[in-house]
Amino acid sequence: MGDIKKLYDVTLRLKEVVEQSTTSKNRQDHIDEINKLVDERSELIKNITPPYREDETLLGKEIVALNVQIQAQMERLFQDLKLEMKQVKKQKKSNESYINPYKHIQTLDGLYMDRKK
């Protein structure tokens, strides 16, 4: 029961971390902690082998239910990150067009073609 109990504890901790709100300032620390907990969970999952006792089966079902919630929260975090990346890209493009508004305009005004050789 030791490994499954540890897995349950790590899963609960991961759920708490994923449910915390993130800002652009603490996002990297938040992602690093999530990655550390996911790696720890994967190692614990490798060590778990059947046969399972009844109490281990119940904990396993709770872990699966928690995992669904964690997956949903991680998807939300990923969508927020994608949205912020889009906004940064849009802001960068807007700043470039403000600095040099005629960068993408191609005109032939003032072009003189000399036909004599």
- The structural domains of the chain, with segments of one domain joined by +, span 2-82
CB-based contacts of 67, cutoff 8 Å, min separation 6? 11
pLDDT at 37: 93
* Among 74, 68, 63, residue whose Cα is nearest residue 33: 74
pLDDT at 48: 84
CA distance linking residue 65 with residue 40, whole number of Å:
19
pLDDT truncated to tens, each residue of the chain (117 aa)? 578 889 899 999 999 999 988 887 888 898 899 999 999 999 988 888 888 888 888 988 999 999 999 999 999 989 988 999 999 999 988 888 778 777 777 666 666 666 776
pLDDT at 117: 61
